[in-house]
Amino acid sequence: MGRPPSLPFVLLLFLPCLSRAHRSNPEDEKPSCDRCDRRLSCNCTYGGFTRVPTVTDGALTLDLSFNNISEVTDDDLIGHAHLRALSLHGNTLTVIQPSAFDALWNLEELDLSNNRLTALNHTWFQKLGALQKLNLVGNPYRSLGSSLLFQGLVRLRKLAFGSDDLVELRRGHLTGVSQLEELTVHANNLQRYDAGTLAGIWPLGRVTLSLHGPFLNNTALASDLLGHTHNFSYLPLFSNMNSFFHPKEQKKTTGTFDFIVLSFLTTYNLSVSDEAIVELLKVSDGAPLTYMAVNNARLTGEGRWERAKETDHKNIDEFFIRDVVILNVWKFVSFMDLGFLLQYPRRVSVIGAKVFLLPCNSTRLLKNLQYLDLTNNLLTDMTLEQTLCNGDGTLKNLRVLNFSGNALKSLSTLSHLVAKLDKLAHLDVSRNGYNVMPTHCTWPSTLQYLNISGSKLTEVTACMPKTLQVLDLSNNDLQTFLVDLPALRELYLSGNKLQNLPNGSKFPNLQSLTIQSNTLSIFHDSELKSYQRLTNLQAGQNKILCSCEFVNLLQMSFRGQGAVALTDEEENYICDSPLPLQGEQVGQVHLSIAYCHQVLVVCVCCGVALVIMVVLVVVLWRIHAFWYVKMTWAWLKAKRSSSSRRRRQNRDGTDSEPLLCYDAFVSYSERDASWVEEYLVPELENPRDEKDETAATAAANDKPLQAFSLCLHKRDFLPGQWIVDNIMSAMERSRRTVFILSENFVSSDWCRYELDFSHFRLFDGKDDGDTAILILLEPLSKDDIPKRFCKLRKLMNSTTYLEWPQEEEKRPEFWGSLRNALRGDDEEEP
């Protein structure tokens, strides 16, 4: 048997495999989050992360809420020393390693709420000396654990802890947090509480206690816990107070439950009877309670609270009631028995309580009232008249009035009812049923703020008070806004159908304009300059037309270089048109110079094109291109006409015209017609009639002179036919073309046509240079022939031409040479 391989050899074999396995493990790859804005705030919520992701260096806030992170390791947050706020709310955290937060020296806010931490470790916070806000609510720990948990958090000002699983609070659990300003404790199932646990925290500005279970089942424990409320100025309670403030329990609890310095009392999720309300008012009799709030209350009684009328609550300055439900509404008497409480407060809010009427008698008790909020109730125009005592000005000190979210429909009725409220400055009637605005209204001269948003108004009239400084008409159906409001400083017009900015000259003091979510597509710098004092504009979420001018205007405003600052998010400005830019952020759009200066580019291009065309025309003219085109067209047209005529004749069987019926076509100028008629025609067509020496010589030789058939345009052209067709036909039916060249010939248009067509016959390939016979009547150089007749000029260089002799004795030789040229070389006389 062979020796087994050595261990190092085996390791070398497996090392590459192990390396590849390590690289391919996706769990070793740390995720990243790139959702960070320019303020170094990273929003990584709902990202599906199972581990803490990496973010940009220098991030100041990191929100990892609502992910699936189950563990924070010692290395996850290294490199984030600048982080000031970290939220891990709503994850599945079960493990946080001891040194996980050690690198966060500057952390001021930490949210670990709503996770699965079953125990708290003091080592998590020992390096967080700058921490000011800590939220541990909603985790399943049963106790705060070590007394050292918050020991090093010397700057902690807001602390929230507890859940339905918290069962004990021991002395020392809150050691080290003596300077808290706000404390929230969720202890609905608290079973053990050491007296004095909250006593060491001083001074507390606000304490929120959720003690539903203790109030129901262990009033002694609740009493012990509330016995330290003398340190608190603000106390919210989440509880069922029926048993705690029940007359039978009062003797056991009032000894320790003390309102002696409590200034603010807030209750949540109450289920309270008539007896409990009466006892609460008795217990707080004479206390310096200035604020009382009831949230989400369920009244189980019938409204019989007469025994509380003798209590003293003159220190109460504000009542706040939200979402009150009367369970036995058919047995319930009224709230009138609590009317004695209304003569003291200056602020009363009854929100979402289904109030449809506040009788005038109750309204008259509100003699000190400055603020009245009846939002989200069931008031109508008719019941509003009772509430405001038919507009007699009963609420003479009222400054703020809020009727939003009711069923009001008449602005004229509203203006009449508030006209005598001489101190009214703020009126909110938003989310009502107003759809028509009257042309004239009467308002208090002190009214400065008016909110009619969320209605169905289609136009704005002179009904608007001229004293307004703030006007909110958001979420209506306005298409124009043409009202003069000289004192207006803030105008809110979002959610309408405006296509243009309102005229700025109507608002000389306007400083802030919000016109988001309209149909606004563009506005110009001149429109912005019409606003004399406008410094704040919000115009995002519109259908932006990304023209060059508008994009430049918006981008300058984004950089703070415009006349008006755009204070909403840059991401709200999205291009809707043109189509290639649709969906792009205006801040990211870069338009080319050619796109932005189309008129200039078109003018330059047209100018360049014009110059090129002029140069081209000059060049073409110099090289006679136009002449060639003109002649080519005429030649093609004539050939087509001739071919059509021949085909027609062949089809009809009438083609009696011979292929060649002339010996020569004579091209000459009209001014040279006398020479043609006196010399050329008689000599060539009728030689026997001539009595000159040429005839005598021929007779002596017993050889008659040949007669030639000539084609003359004056004699042989068909009348009524196109002149070009006649020229073409004559040339095609002639063996030769005789050109009588002279100064008159060169200047004649028709002679030039005949020269042109002769020139084209040469190019047509049917003739050679012998078809053209040149006769010079007078001395004429080839330079006198137009340069465009390059073929004829070449012929004059390569072909012998005949010159008409002025001497009589040389003429017989001339006629002989001409006859030889007409006959051709094969027929030349010996």
List the single range of 343-347, 498-502, 607-611 with lowest mean pLDDT. 343-347
Task: Indicate whether 810 and 715 sit together in one domain.
Answer: yes
pLDDT value at 665 more than 80: yes
Tell me: do 711 and 790 sit in the same domain: yes
* Domain end among 552, 570, 591: 591
In angstroms, the CA 215 to CA 137 distance is: 20
Residue type, 656: S
Residue 578 has pLDDT above 80, yes or no: yes
Report which of residues 607 and 336 the model is more confident about.
607
User: According to the model, what pLDDT value does residue 819 have?
Assistant: 87
Give the lowest-confidence range in 204-208, 295-299, 579-583, 763-767: 763-767
* Alpha-helical segments (H) within 471-587: 525-529, 548-558
**Cβ neighbours around 291 below 10 Å, total:** 19
Structure tokens at 477: 């159906």
Q: For residues 203-226, give the mean pLDDT.
A: 70
Q: What single DSSP character describes residue 585?
A: B
Closest among 446, 449, 458 to 421, alpha carbons compared? 446
Q: What is the pLDDT of residues 430-457, one digit of tens each?
A: 999 999 999 999 999 999 999 999 999 9
Label residue 42 exposed, middle or buried (CB < 10 Å: 0-12, 13-18, 19+).
Answer: buried
Read off the pLDDT of each residue in 95-111 and give the average, rounded to a whole number. 92
Paired residues of 85 in beta bridges: 61, 109
**Which candidate, 548, 562, 481, places its Cα nearest to that of 514?**
481
Task: Provide CB contacts within 8 A for 754, sequence distance 6+.
Answer: 665, 667, 727, 731, 737, 739
Residue 299 CB neighbours (<10 A): 22
117: Cβ contacts below 8 Å, ≥ 6 apart: 93, 94, 96, 136, 139, 140, 141
**Which of helix, strand or coil describes residue 802?**
strand
Whether residue 598 has pLDDT greater than 50: yes
Question: Which pLDDT value is given to residue 824?
Answer: 73
Beta partners for residue 134, in sequence order: 110, 159
- The CATH code of the domain that includes 572 is 3.80.10.10
pLDDT at 652: 67
Structural domain boundaries, residue 277: 238-247+257-345
Assess contact for 800 and 776: CB atoms under 8 A: no
Name 819's Cβ contacts closer than 8 Å, sequence gap at least 6: 684, 705, 706, 708, 829
pLDDT number for residue 191: 86
Given a cut of 60, whether residue 27 has pLDDT beyond it is: no
Q: How confident is the model at residue 784 (pLDDT cuts 50, 70, 90)?
A: low
Q: What does the pLDDT read at residue 772?
A: 77
What share of residues in the chain are helix, strand, coil (percent, to 5)? 35, 15, 50
Q: How confident is the model at residue 215 (pLDDT cuts 50, 70, 90)?
A: low
Task: Express as a percent the part of the chain with pLDDT over 90.
Answer: 35
Task: Tell me the two tokens of residue 464.
Answer: 């608007």
Candidate from 55-69, 155-169, 250-264, 724-738 with smallest mean pLDDT = 250-264
Among the ranges given (256-260, 308-312, 667-671), the one the predictor scored with the smallest mean pLDDT:
256-260
DSSP state of 678: I
DSSP 178: T
Residue 52, both tokens:
């803490």
Identify the top-confidence range among 239-243, 269-273, 419-423, 730-734: 419-423
Does 408 reside within a domain?
no
SS3 of residue 30 by DSSP = coil
775 in a structural domain: yes
Q: In whole numbers, what is the pLDDT of the chain averaged over residues?
A: 81
Inter-residue contact 271 to 243 (CB < 8 Å): no
Does 586 lie in the same domain as 667?
no
Name beta bridge partners: 567.
none
Peptide bond before residue 8 is cis, with ω within 30 degrees of 0: no
Average pLDDT over residues 280-291: 81
State the angle between helix axes of 811-823 and 693-700 in degrees (0 to 180), rounded to the nearest 10: 60
Rounded to an integer, the average pLDDT of 87-95 is 94
Domain termination residue (choose one: 317, 345, 373): 345
In a domain, 215, yes or no: no
Can you tell me the mean pLDDT for 622-636? Answer: 72
Note the pLDDT of residue 1: 41
Residues 820 and 830: their CA atoms lie apart, in Å, by 10
Residues 675, 572 share a domain: no
Confidence band (pLDDT; 50, 70, 90) for 818?
confident
Q: Is 738 domain-assigned?
A: yes
Point out the least confidently predicted range of 50-54, 58-62, 663-667.
663-667
Q: What is the pLDDT of residue 19?
A: 42
Residue 324 scores a pLDDT above 70: yes
Q: Are 345 and 316 in contact (CB under 8 A)?
A: yes
Among 399, 402, 389, 440, which Cα is nearest to 422's? 399
- What CATH number should be reported for the domain holding residue 782? 3.40.50.10140
Q: What is the mean pLDDT of residues 233-255?
A: 45
Say if 727 falls within a structural domain: yes
Quick: pLDDT tens for 700-718: 444 567 788 888 888 887 7
Query: Cβ–Cβ contacts within 10 Å for residue 107, how many?
Result: 26
Q: Decide if pLDDT at 695 tops 50.
A: no
> Residue 203: what pLDDT?
61
Dump pLDDT digits (tens) for 462-508.
999 999 999 999 999 999 999 999 999 999 999 999 999 999 999 99
pLDDT given at position 148: 79
Residue 39 within a domain:
no
Residues 587 and 666 reside in one and the same domain = no
**pLDDT beyond 80 at 611:** yes
CA distance 511 to 319: 35
Query: Do 519 and 538 contact (CB within 8 A), yes or no?
Result: no
Residue 195 has, within 13 A of its CA and on its CB side, a CA count of 5
Q: Single out the residue in 310, 345, 380 at which a domain terminates.
A: 345
Q: Tally Cβ neighbours within 10 Å of residue 460.
A: 20
Q: What is the largest CA-CA distance in the chain?
A: 177
Helix (H) or strand (E) segment spanning residue 21: helix 7-23
Do 575 and 722 fall within a single domain?
no
Give the pLDDT score at 561.
Answer: 84
Question: For residues 495 and 724, which has the higher predicted lDDT (pLDDT)?
Answer: 495
User: 676 and 787: one domain?
Assistant: yes
Confidence of residue 594 (pLDDT cuts 50, 70, 90): confident
pLDDT at 790: 63
Q: What's the whole-number mean pLDDT along residues 567-595?
A: 90
Question: What is the CA angle 684-685-687, rounded to 5?
Answer: 70
Same domain, 676 and 813: yes
* Residue scoring higher pLDDT (798 or 242): 798
pTM to 2 decimal places: 0.62
The amino acid that residue 353 corresponds to is A
C-alpha distances in Å from residue 33, one per residue of 30, 49, 588: 10, 9, 21
- 645 or 279, higher pLDDT: 279
Tokens of 297: 């209350």
Give the pLDDT score at 258. Answer: 52
Q: Based on the domain organization, do 528 and 675 belong to the same domain?
A: no
Same-domain status, 724 and 576: no
Per mean pLDDT, which range of 98-112, 179-193, 226-240, 351-365 is the poorest?
A: 226-240
Q: Do the domain assignments include residue 177?
A: no
Query: Domain tally for the chain?
Result: 3
Residue 634 in any domain: the answer is no
Cβ atoms 710, 681 nearer than 8 A: yes
Please indicate whether residue 137 or residue 786 has the higher confidence score (pLDDT). 137
How far apart, in whole angstroms, are the C-alpha atoms of residue 573 and residue 569?
Answer: 8
For position 49, what pLDDT does the model report?
Answer: 93
Considering the domain architecture, whether residues 717 and 574 belong to the same structural domain is answered as: no
Task: Pick the closest to residue 300 from 272, 330, 277 (CA basis).
Answer: 272
Structure tokens at 577: 């048109």
